Structure 1
Amino acid sequence: MEEGMLTTAEVDMARALSVADEVSSSRAELKMAVRFLAHAVVDAVEVARLRGERLGVAPEAKETAEFLRRCLTR
Structure 2
Amino acid sequence: MLVTAEVDASRATALAEDVSASGAELRMAVHYLCRAVADTIEVARLRGERLSLDPEAKETAEFLRQTLTP
- Fold agreement, TM-score > 0.5: yes
Q: What is the CA-CA distance between 1:65 and the residue it aligns to?
A: 1.5
- Secondary structure in structure 2 of the residue aligned to 1:60: helix
From 15, 18, 30, the counterpart of 2:14: 18
**Deviating 4+ runs (over 6 angstroms):** none
Q: Which whole-Å CA distance do the structure 1 matches of 2:37 and 2:50 have between them?
A: 20
In the superposition, the TM-score normalised over structure 2's length comes to 0.89
Task: Tell me which residue corresponds to 1:53.
Answer: 49
From 53, 61, 65, the counterpart of 2:61: 65
- Secondary structure in structure 1 of the residue aligned to 2:53: coil
Number of residues of Structure 1 aligned to a counterpart in Structure 2: 70
Q: Which amino acid aligns with 1:43?
A: D
Are positions 1:36 and 2:40 aligned together?
A: no
Contact 1:49–1:62 (Cα < 8 Å) also in 2 = no
Identity %: 66
Unaligned stretches of 5+ residues in structure 1: none
Task: Tell me which residue corresponds to 1:9.
Answer: 5
Q: Which whole-Å CA distance do the structure 2 matches of 1:35 and 1:63 have between them?
A: 26
